[in-house]
């Protein structure tokens, strides 16, 4: 694989999809600046860099920017790394982080997330995709999973996800497990549906804003649409498990480290951590214990699906809860 070194004296600009294509071909640059508001495409750039290099990913933000000082040489245990620098809004810290990147002393492929101008960087525009581009992306992603999906079905999937690429990618992963040729029938049977009502990430939104009534509505909508209760249960358990781990373990407070350990995207982990802020550590421990007890009750037939759904809401929204903000 040809990884270019030293950069260039001028900035090269490209869009995210073209950059990902180049990365997949093995054409990897030393320094990228990811601009624009499409966080999904930014994470896909990082994903493909990791896939192609098999390197560790180190994420640096305002809270742990001192880590940059230790990234000027490689570890004996990790001959390659990807350094993701998330620029904050605060100017003093932002300027210091940009200065550290601009020095050229960091050892690894550096990915800066934020609108800035750094000499020699490949500037990657991560803007919202036009519908035609998004549909083509869905077809291409299915192809990478060894699954066939024609343009018409891909467009239907995008519409069901209200154009949200995070939601679409979740459905791509799920459909790739059940078929090698996606049809409209598969969409009807397996895709959750609109982001507006009855979607897993809409349920996650409700938890993130501590909106009990909306969470109840979204979970009911999922069940009405035919989603298995056990699948919803597992999804919610993963959320609270990550929220708990982010508070329980001192070495797991960074979303990147937690994402790698859990095999989840940093974006998903970040949202779980936000949900965890509504609960104390003791409350999260009790919630995890209650999840495990409810799982046992379901498996032994002590409670039916309707009762389990009601119990699940009580677990997630205990009466004695303090907002930890």
Superfamily classification of domain 12-125: P-loop containing nucleotide triphosphate hydrolases (3.40.50.300)
CA distances from 240 to 39, 147, 173, 231, 310 (A): 23, 32, 22, 15, 17
For residue 12, the cross-strand partners are 122
**pLDDT computed for residue 322 by the predictor:** 47
Whole-model pTM: value is: 0.60
3 state DSSP class of 163: coil
CATH architecture of the domain covering 131-190: Orthogonal Bundle (1.10)
325 residues of the chain, pLDDT tens digit each: 334 434 444 567 789 999 999 999 999 999 999 999 888 899 899 989 988 988 888 889 888 888 888 888 766 555 688 999 999 888 999 999 999 999 988 989 999 999 999 998 999 999 989 999 999 999 999 998 899 999 999 999 998 887 888 878 878 888 888 889 999 988 887 775 433 344 677 788 889 889 999 999 989 988 887 778 888 898 899 899 989 988 876 544 455 666 656 555 666 777 888 899 899 999 999 999 999 999 899 888 999 989 999 999 999 999 754 444 3
pLDDT digits (tens, 9 = 90+) for 212-240: 999 999 899 888 877 788 888 988 998 99
The pair phi, psi for residue 88, each rounded to 5°, is -85, 175
Domain with CATH 3.40.50.300 in the chain: 12-125
- Length reported for the chain: 325
Domain with CATH 1.10.8.60 in the chain: 131-190
Are 239 and 275 in contact, with CB atoms under 8 Å apart? yes
200-316 CATH: 1.20.272.10
List Cβ neighbours of 101 (8 Å cut-off, separation of 6 or more).
31, 85, 110, 112, 118
**pLDDT computed for residue 297 by the predictor:** 92
pLDDT digits (tens, 9 = 90+) for 133-168: 999 999 999 998 899 999 999 999 998 887 888 878
**pLDDT computed for residue 200 by the predictor:** 76
CA distance between the termini of the chain: 46
């Amino acid at each position: 694989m040809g990884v270019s070194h030293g950069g260039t004296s001028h900035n090269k600009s490209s869009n995210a999809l073209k950059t990902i294509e180049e990365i997949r071909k093995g054409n990897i640059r030393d320094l990228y600046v990811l601009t624009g508001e499409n966080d999904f495409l930014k994470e896909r750039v990082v994903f493909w860099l990791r896939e192609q290099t098999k390197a560790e990913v180190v994420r640096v933000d305002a809270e742990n920017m001192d880590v940059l000082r230790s990234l000027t040489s490689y570890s004996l245990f990790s001959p390659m790394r990807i350094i993701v620098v998330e620029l904050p809004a605060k100017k003093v810290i932002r300027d210091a982080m940009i200065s550290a990147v601009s020095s050229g002393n960091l050892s690894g492929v550096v990915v800066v997330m934020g609108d800035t101008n750094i000499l020699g960087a490949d500037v990657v525009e991560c803007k919202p995709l036009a519908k035609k581009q998004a549909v083509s992306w869905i077809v291409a992603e299915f192809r990478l999973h060894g699954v066939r999906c024609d343009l018409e079905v891909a467009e239907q999937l995008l519409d069901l996800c209200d154009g949200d690429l995070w939601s679409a990618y979740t459905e791509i992963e799920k459909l790739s497990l059940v078929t090698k040729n996606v049809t409209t029938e598969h969409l009807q049977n397996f895709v959750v549906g609109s982001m507006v009502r009855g979607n897993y990430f809409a349920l996650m939104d409700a938890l993130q804003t501590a909106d009990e009534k909306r969470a109840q509505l979204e979970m009911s909508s999922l069940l009405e649409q035919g989603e298995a209760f056990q699948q919803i249960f597992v999804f919610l358990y993963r959320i609270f498990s990550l929220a708990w781990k982010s508070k329980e373990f001192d070495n797991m407070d960074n979303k990147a480290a937690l994402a790698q350990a859990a095999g989840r995207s940093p974006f998903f982990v970040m949202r779980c951590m936000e949900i965890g802020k509504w609960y104390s550590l003791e409350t999260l421990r009790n919630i995890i214990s209650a999840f495990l007890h409810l799982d046992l009750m379901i498996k032994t037939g002590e409670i039916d699906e309707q009762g389990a759904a009601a119990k699940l809401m009580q677990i997630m929204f205990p009466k004695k809860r303090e907002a930890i903000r």
